[in-house]
Amino acid sequence: KTVEKSLERLEKEKEELLEKKNFFDREQAGLRMKASENQKQQQNMADEIRLVVEEQSGKTDSITQDTWEAGKENLEKEIRERQQEYRSLKENSRKAQETLQGFQAEKERIASSIETFEVQQKEIGEIPEAEIREQRAQASERKKDLAEERKELFSIQKGNQDVFQKVQKRREEMTTAEKEYAWIRNLSDTANGKLNGKAKIELETYIQMAYFDRILRRANLRLMTMSSGQYELKRQEQSKNQKEKAGLDLNVIDHYNGTERSVKTLSGGESFQASLSLALGLSDEIQASAGGIRLDSMFVDEGFGSLDEESLEQALKALAGLADGKRLVGIISHVSELKERIDNKIIVTKQCNGENMGSSIRIQ
């Protein structure tokens, strides 16, 4: 297609240059003819002037002075006119010569261009017109197919663009939702004690910890009394394993040796003292926190058998202080030493003989 356009352009330029060449040839011939005519006119004019001068010179003797003056003026006038015409013809001849030279230069340029175009045409060679037309027809058909394909792809692209815009919108919404979810998930993990690298403390346990600390403060008043100032309960702030739930485990501070250890290391009697102190601390906290609630009775089941005589004395002293004549404190125990220390007793006796199977009670 490019070669075909180049050939058409070259042919057209060649024709235009040939037309210009012919035109300049005609102009050149006309100018040459006109220059020749100007030269002839100049020669004729010079001859006429010379004849007139000679004629006037021969007639000088036979005419009068007035006639001579009049004739002289006419002759001078005619000479000036002829001279003016001669100068005009000479100027026209010069201009015609310049124009002719310009035409000749243009003619040479055109001839060189024609020669160049002919060389280019030879280099291009013979063009198989039928083959080129066939290729052009195939290209036109291909262009038509591509136009249909482009139309189809444009439709697909338009649909994809709509989908992309919707996806972008949903993506922004999803990003916002993910940020909100991350915040809520973090809050949920915090409330459920599932944060990585943190103690596994649930929200419920966290709230219980606040109340537990208050109960411990009251329980330690009892335990310090029972243990003669040796033991003090303390909530375990750091769990041994962060994978396990924490927050309500207890340690005990031994003021005798300045150590802190788990309550699991306490002996049986010491554990009973700690448990009793916690029960009493819970009772005190409930009555202090909830207005109108009063615990008028408490029952302590077993545990006294593990206490030595001094510890038993201190435990009973704490329970007596708790009763203080205003509360009923019941002790369920098989320890014989308590019988002498308790004024009011309910004695339960098992019966396993004959028909009287069961238990009997008596108040003492």
| CATH number of the domain bearing residue 71 | 1.10.287
User: Could you tell me if 22 and 112 lie in one domain?
Assistant: yes
Last residue of a domain, one of 100, 127, 154: 127
Q: Walk along the chain (364 residues) and give the pLDDT tens digit of each residue.
A: 666 676 677 777 777 777 777 777 777 777 778 777 767 776 777 677 677 666 666 554 554 556 656 666 776 777 777 677 767 767 776 777 777 777 778 778 877 877 887 787 777 666 677 888 888 888 999 999 999 999 999 999 999 999 999 999 999 999 999 999 988 988 888 878 777 777 777 788 788 888 889 999 999 998 888 888 899 999 887 666 555 566 678 899 999 998 999 888 888 778 888 888 888 888 888 888 876 677 778 788 766 777 777 777 777 777 777 666 677 888 888 877 777 778 788 888 887 776 667 888 888 8
Judge whether 46 lies within some domain: yes
Q: Give the pLDDT of residue 253.
A: 93
Last residue of a domain, one of 81, 107, 127: 127
pTM above 0.75, yes or no: no
User: Could you tell me if 123 and 207 lie in one domain?
Assistant: no
Between the CA of residue 364 and those of 300, 313, 326, 347, what are the distances in Å?
Answer: 19, 22, 21, 7
Which residue, among 285, 231, 241, has the nearest Cα to 263 in the 3D structure?
A: 231
Residue 292 makes CB contacts below 8 A (sequence gap 6+) with none
Q: Give the pLDDT of residue 105.
A: 80
Identify the burial level of 6 via C-beta atoms within 10 angstroms of its C-beta, where 0-12 means exposed, 13-18 middle and 19 or more buried: middle
Judge whether 90 lies within some domain: yes
User: Could you tell me if 84 and 217 lie in one domain?
Assistant: no
Judge whether 194 lies within some domain: no
Domain count along the chain: 2
Q: Give the pLDDT of residue 242.
A: 55
User: Could you tell me if 225 and 353 lie in one domain?
Assistant: yes
User: Could you tell me if 117 and 215 lie in one domain?
Assistant: no
Judge whether 167 lies within some domain: no
User: Could you tell me if 357 and 210 lie in one domain?
Assistant: yes
User: Could you tell me if 209 and 337 lie in one domain?
Assistant: yes
Q: Give the pLDDT of residue 116.
A: 82
Judge whether 249 lies within some domain: yes
Angstrom distance (rounded) from CA 334 to CA 303? 10
Which residue, among 358, 283, 271, 293, has the nearest Cα to 322 in the 3D structure?
A: 283
Judge whether 184 lies within some domain: no
Domain of 235? 203-363
Q: Give the pLDDT of residue 285.
A: 85
- The residue type found at 288 is A
Last residue of a domain, one of 93, 127, 161: 127
CATH number at residue 324: 3.40.50.300
Which residue, among 360, 276, 265, 346, has the nearest Cα to 314 in the 3D structure?
A: 276
Q: Give the pLDDT of residue 277.
A: 86
User: Could you tell me if 91 and 209 lie in one domain?
Assistant: no
User: Could you tell me if 263 and 118 lie in one domain?
Assistant: no
Judge whether 316 lies within some domain: yes
Judge whether 302 lies within some domain: yes
